[in-house]
Amino acid sequence: MLKISKHVYWDGIRDWDLRLFHGHELSTHRGSTYNSFIIKDEKTVLVDTVWFPHTNSYIDRIEHDVGIDNIDFIIINHNEPDHGGALKAIMEKRPELPIYCSANGEKIIKAHFHKDWNFNVVKTGDTINIGRNNLKFIEMKMIHWPDSMMVYLDNDKVLLSNDAFGQHYCAMSMFNDEVDRDELFQEAIKYYANILTPFSPLIARKIDEVLKLNLDIEIIAPSHGVIWRENPLQIIEAYASWSDNYKEDFAVIVYDTMYEATLRMAEAIEKGLRSKGVKVKLYNSSVSDMSDLLTEIFKAKALAIGSCTVNNNALTSIVALTHEIAAHKMKGKPFVSFGSYGWSGEAPAHISETLVKAGLTPVHEPIKTSYTPTEEALEECVRAGVALAEAAGE
Ligand code: FEO
């Protein structure tokens, strides 16, 4: 059990070995943590649990550190199984224990466990006194689930923010001032890009709403990764920036290829971009990690995506990537699509159609070239790179 403030203790699980999350959807190169908290005030409160594969060791620890019989109530900020997974094991020992959650939380917990436990629904502004602290609840609907909420302790000045402000990052320390800052922010922005980007408009509004509450915050403790205790507002400021048409000063070119003709086109687009002073990152999607690619695309100010045509469409990795860009609502970025073909050549048009439908902006007609690109075809790619640079503001 790790003390994080006068009355709050971290009692979660460090998962050094996690490499994939959300099934096999999200890569987690630096593992993760499932942050469960104990508040020891006049009342003893458990906030969130851990992912169910860790139930046995977690229950043993809670039993040892606080005693499940000594818990007065549980707060479930969000019942995705990585936080609510061990709830059933606790409730089997204490079936009468009050559970505080949002209205959607009650529905989701019932849908997971099919039990009619002692639910106490709370909404934004509700407070409970537990001794020295008042607990103030703040709903975070769709950030990132319908049930999500946060809880603030006014005496300790701690915000238990659940998934918001988290990172899939298992480190030697649980505090932001004791870990590598570059690693921490790489994991924080990857988490935002892959999990929270679809909800950016909601996040921008919610940050305004939270700031207007004028909470005096000394610690932000999310449910994954390290706890922000040195300048905790920096992660709120980062979220404000990431949720507001965020871009960094580089372009990304992603391609897939069978015999390198599409790679030659990608290199020509790169030449056009660089001729206008744009920095470029170039990735082959078939050998790249999808979650890392999405993070790079989230950060990029311009995008070029290419594939040769196979069976009237793009190669699998590019079909999947364009689907993910659309699903993550990475709107507003200028792009070009391109690719080599043998006899039909639909891939660049399909890529463009998917991205336009998703709200990205084409700056050039889809470029296709038959088999090995000619000098003229490569010159067209260079011109498309220049157009992309100009659209990106160079
Ligand atoms: Fe970390 Fe939405 O669960």
Question: Which of 222, 242, 262 is where one domain is finished?
Answer: 242
CATH code of the domain covering residue 15: 3.60.15.10
Ligand 1 contacts CB of residue 83 (under 6 A): yes
Burial of 92 (0-12, 13-18, 19+ CB in 10 A): exposed
Ligand 1 contacts CB of residue 168 (under 6 A): no
What's the sign of the alpha-carbon dihedral 53, 57, 59, 62?
A: negative
pLDDT per residue as tens digits for the range 110-150: 999 999 999 999 999 999 999 999 999 999 999 999 999 99
Claim to verify: residue 24 and residue 171 sit in the same structural domain: yes
Quote the pLDDT of residue 37.
Answer: 98
Quote the pLDDT of residue 109.
Answer: 98
Q: What is the mean pLDDT of residues 294-318?
A: 98
Claim to verify: residue 328 and residue 375 sit in the same structural domain: yes
Claim to verify: residue 265 and residue 235 sit in the same structural domain: no
Residue in 112, 93, 92 with CA at minimum distance from that of residue 101: 112
Claim to verify: residue 288 and residue 343 sit in the same structural domain: yes
Claim to verify: residue 267 and residue 303 sit in the same structural domain: yes
Per-residue CA distances from 96 to 15, 115, 118, 123, 181 (Å): 31, 11, 6, 22, 43
Q: Does 392 reside within a domain?
A: no
pLDDT per residue as tens digits for the range 175-211: 999 999 999 999 999 999 999 999 999 999 999 999 9
Q: What is the mean pLDDT of residues 214-222?
A: 97
Q: Does 17 reside within a domain?
A: yes
Cα 340 to ligand 1 centroid, rounded to whole Å: 41
Claim to verify: residue 375 and residue 344 sit in the same structural domain: yes
Report how far residue 222's alpha carbon sits from residue 235's, in angstroms, rounded to the nearest whole number.
Answer: 11
pLDDT at position 394 over 80? no
Quote the pLDDT of residue 293.
Answer: 98
Structural domain harbouring 147: 2-242
Provide the domain count of the chain.
Answer: 2
Quote the pLDDT of residue 47.
Answer: 98
What's the sign of the alpha-carbon dihedral 307, 309, 314, 315?
A: negative
pTM of the model: 0.96
Ligand 1 contacts CB of residue 54 (under 6 A): no
Question: Which of 242, 267, 301 is where one domain is finished?
Answer: 242
Claim to verify: residue 185 and residue 78 sit in the same structural domain: yes
Claim to verify: residue 375 and residue 288 sit in the same structural domain: yes
Claim to verify: residue 255 and residue 233 sit in the same structural domain: no
Q: Are 363 and 335 in contact (CB under 8 A)?
A: yes
pLDDT at position 272 over 70? yes
pLDDT per residue as tens digits for the range 87-110: 999 999 999 999 999 999 999 999
Q: What share of the chain is helix, strand, coil (3-state, %, to 5)?
A: 40, 25, 40
Q: What is the mean pLDDT of residues 293-299?
A: 98
Quote the pLDDT of residue 131.
Answer: 98
Q: Does 394 reside within a domain?
A: no
pLDDT per residue as tens digits for the range 359-385: 999 999 999 999 999 999 999 999 999
CATH code of the domain covering residue 343: 3.40.50.360
Question: Which of 242, 260, 276 is where one domain is finished?
Answer: 242
Claim to verify: residue 90 and residue 209 sit in the same structural domain: yes
Nearest residue by C-alpha to atom 3 in ligand 1: 80
Q: Does 393 reside within a domain?
A: no
